[in-house]
Amino acid sequence: MSDSTSYYRHHVFFCLNERTNGQACCAQHRAQEAFDRCKARVKALGLAGPGQTRVNKAGCLDRCAGGPVLVVYPEGVWYTYVDEADIDEIVASHLQRGQVVQRLLTPAHLGR
């Protein structure tokens, strides 16, 4: 562990929120499948567990306009993704090597 106050090196939260009123939400963009893919890749690469990476489900993260979104802490890096290849790149680059994937960053101005 690089920081003695952190239980996980990376903590990843996927918005899986689903709105029933017709408003845009991450669930409409296959967020559950992306979450499942990320969790499986992290585990397969031996990156899961204390001192390493934890992948969690989250409710609304209030960045709907950029959805689907995930955020990696402790860095607070927000990503927008489209497909499995994007998830694989985030895992390999950010979670495995510590390099932010610039092309997938959620634009800072996008909120709800």
Do 74 and 82 form a contact (C-beta atoms < 8 A)? no
Q: 6 CB contacts (<8 Å, ≥6 apart)?
A: 74
Q: Was domain 10-52+63-104 assigned CATH 3.40.5.50?
A: no
Check whether 62 has a pLDDT greater than 80.
Answer: yes
Check whether 2 has a pLDDT greater than 60.
Answer: no
Token pair in block for residue 108: 């800072």
Check whether 32 has a pLDDT greater than 70.
Answer: yes
Secondary structure of 24-71 as H, E, C letters:
CCHHHHCHHHHHHHHHHHHHHCCCECCCCEEEEEECCCCCHHHCCEEE
Is pTM beyond 0.85? Reply is yes
Do 64 and 25 form a contact (C-beta atoms < 8 A)? yes
Q: 86 CB contacts (<8 Å, ≥6 apart)?
A: 79, 101, 104
What's the pLDDT score for residue 1?
Answer: 42
What's the pLDDT score for residue 68?
Answer: 96
Q: How many Å apart are CA 23 and CA 29, to the nearest integer?
A: 13
Of 64, 88, 92, 3, nearest to 78 by C-alpha is: 64
What's the pLDDT score for residue 3?
Answer: 52
15 or 65: which carries more pLDDT confidence?
A: 15
What's the pLDDT score for residue 43?
Answer: 97
Domain spans, the chain? 10-52+63-104
